[in-house]
Chain A
Amino acid sequence: MNQILIVFLKELREALRDRRTLLRVSLPGLLMGPLMLFMLSMLVAQFEKQAEQREILVAGVAQAPTLVNYLQRQNFSVKEAPADYERQLREATLGQAVLVVPPDFENALARGAELELEVVTDSANTRASASGGGVARLVRGFNEERARLQLMLRGVSPELLSPVGLTERDLASPGARAARITGIIPMFVIMAVLYGALTAALDTTSGERERQSLEPLLANPVPHGALVLGKWLAVALMGAVVAALASFSFLPAQLLIKSDALAAQFRFGWADAASFALLLLPVAAAMGALLMAVAIRTKTFKEAQASANLVIMVFSLMPLIAIMNPGADAAWHYWLPGLGQYQQMMQLLKGETLRLDQWGPPLLSAALIIAAGMAYVARAMRAAASR
């Protein structure tokens, strides 16, 4: 026990001394999430601002006084579109859809002739195409008003236009609705586990071989199991700490959210961050063991990095299994490291409590990986030194 502690403290001290690598490794983990959040909120805020502005661009304002009158009654300010709006839309310098009015619109409307309006957007221009729907809704509203007036003039009840009414009822709790936005957090904090554990895992295994310090280390009268456990504890702690930092980094990151509606929906508090950090503990421990097992096979740090990349890639794809099949979380999901934690965190974000079959399997699978990894590293370490 004492020997495990000695190894643990030494590995920890060495890992913390390497500040530059530590920083380089943990910064992406810590900043990526908040940065994504910031950019997402910028986009949403822009949409909101457009909606707030209630401005509509029309090509040919003078040709459609009746339409313009309707639009103004809906509290929209109508502006003439720039002459080269097509080019501007294509180049994405114009961020709004344009409603094009044909030349003889007003007369044709009065005559009751068949008429065609045109909404011009560019689907490659995100902002413009998003505003296209709003313009289309306005034109439908205008149509309906005209139709109701015509019917009333002919003495027919306008009710005939909508024989069936429709109201929507959303069963999702505010938490579940917010989880659509906070759902990006688990992806990032799960990856942070690897960022934290990677360097320490490689340094304590293949790094020890590369520096030729493994052989002298094994010349001490210490059971190999104690050496491996001490190293693993340090690796797991590094992973868990960076994961916790990543979880908590979303708390100050909320201040960066530019959109009020998004900020109101983004429900992520101290309790959530703390339970995330706790849920990530077993996966940090398991991935630490796995990375060590992969790295002990290689003679140099560089080789170890190459093989660790494979582990990282597979691990980072795990949450995608759930993201690609939304709403279909199967029991086996909870057995896979990474995927299980993703599902657990999503449950928490939806405001649900975890059932036994949701927190048991991830713990059990982590324990299995740790036991297998440790046994393997202890055996491989002797083989590595005696070659």
Chain B
Amino acid sequence: MITIDRISKRFKTASQRQPGWAGWLGRRQGGWVEAVREVSLSAGDGRITGLLGANGAGKTTSLRMLAGLFRPEAGAIAVDGVDVLRQPRQALARMGILGDAHGLYPRLTARENIVYFGQLQGLSAAAASRRAEELAELLELGAILDRRAEGFSQGERMKTALARALVHDPANIVLDEPTNGLDVLATRSLRGALRTLAREQGKCIVFSTHIMQEVEYLCDEVVVVAQGRSVARGSVDELKQQAGCANFEDAFVALAFAPAREAA
């Protein structure tokens, strides 16, 4: 169970000197960029919740705040009732996070990569290794489990990173554009794995994407994010109704970009 309540975050932009002497002497001034203005979501157990939005809508920033990488300026985030801002370590122990950045250690094998994170999550080396084998079966990793990560393909790297995030069997799973750069087969197998995790194991899954198909295939609930705000929520069918469109893509465009057009 993950609840995000009206979080916001702004970043200082890279400051630029003014041209000429004045720039060298004067203080540099940077502007502010509102990355997230007001995003809320509530993701239940046993369900897959999609965070759907265009590039730069604020999906990644929201998920990184959920992972405790930086604090929102306002709002609250709770995982199974644990406040991410007040008790970050307890909250992290309840989440498996596959972020935008998911580099592996190239000189370690897939298994060693997974076991390392398992140990950091408090598992014994033996338990983590057993868990790696279970996950290898779920994610079809068996053949590469004991190979060094150095020469892995994009899909193999993604699966290993996902296994690494799930090693401690967390009740909540957070994924940031997990199918990015994967081919058709890899995408299908990843979708299958996610469905298994939610339907059979009762996990709470939150993932961000900008691909309509994926949302239609997978999500029980969708939160549409545009310009740093969550502008609509509901199941795929509910959203189609809300927008009055038969096609989900049309519905998304209507929901995500209508407010901007109104504002303009």
Residues of A at the B interface (CB closer than 8 Å) are 3, 6-7, 10, 13-14, 17-18, 211-223, 382, 385-386
B130 CB, nearest partner CB in chain A, Å: 17
Which one of B38-46, B112-120, B182-190 is at the A interface?
B112-120
Is A385 within 8 A of B116, CB to CB? no
Which one of B90-98, B204-212, B217-225, B229-237 is at the A interface?
B90-98
In the bound complex, CA of A223 to CA of B120 (Å): 10
| Residue in chain A with minimal CB distance to B120 | A220
**A interface, over-half SS:** helix
User: A6: which of B69, B93, B103, B120 is its contact (CB, 8 Å)?
Assistant: B120
Is A219 within 8 A of B97, CB to CB? yes
Is A216 within 8 A of B89, CB to CB? no
Is B104 within 8 A of A211, CB to CB? yes
Is A221 within 8 A of B105, CB to CB? no
In the bound complex, CA of A161 to CA of B46 (Å): 113
Is B119 within 8 A of A219, CB to CB? no
User: A215: which of B69, B107, B164 is its contact (CB, 8 Å)?
Assistant: B69
User: A220: which of B69, B100, B112, B121 is its contact (CB, 8 Å)?
Assistant: B121
Give 8 A-B pairs besides A14-B108, A216-B103 with Cβ atoms closer than 8 angstroms.
Answer: A6-B120, A14-B107, A211-B105, A216-B161, A219-B68, A220-B120, A221-B121, A386-B64
A5 CB, nearest partner CB in chain B, Å: 9
Ranked 5 nearest A-B pairs via Cβ: A212-B103, A212-B101, A213-B103, A211-B103, A221-B89
In the bound complex, CA of A221 to CA of B99 (Å): 15
A-B contacts counted at CB < 8 A amount to 77
In the bound complex, CA of A216 to CA of B117 (Å): 9
B84 CB, nearest partner CB in chain A, Å: 12
B222 CB, nearest partner CB in chain A, Å: 25
User: B99: which of A13, A219, A220 is its contact (CB, 8 Å)?
Assistant: A219
Is B67 within 8 A of A219, CB to CB? yes
* Residue of A213, A219, A221 with most chain B CB atoms under a 10 A cut-off: A219
| Residue in chain A with minimal CB distance to B119 | A6
**B199 interface residue per 8 A CB criterion:** no
A204 CB, nearest partner CB in chain B, Å: 11
| Residue in chain A with minimal CB distance to B113 | A213
In the bound complex, CA of A215 to CA of B66 (Å): 13
Ordered by A's residue number, 13 sampled pairs between the chains whose C-beta atoms are within 8 Å are A17-B107, A17-B108, A211-B106, A212-B102, A213-B102, A214-B101, A215-B64, A215-B67, A215-B100, A216-B98, A220-B92, A221-B90, A221-B93
A10 — which chain B residues lie within 8 A by C-beta?
105, 108, 112, 116
In the bound complex, CA of A177 to CA of B101 (Å): 60
A219 — which chain B residues lie within 8 A by C-beta?
67-69, 92, 95, 97, 99, 165
Is B69 within 8 A of A216, CB to CB? no
**B257 interface residue per 8 A CB criterion:** no
B99 — which chain A residues lie within 8 A by C-beta?
215-216, 219
In the bound complex, CA of A10 to CA of B116 (Å): 7
Is A3 within 8 A of B120, CB to CB? yes
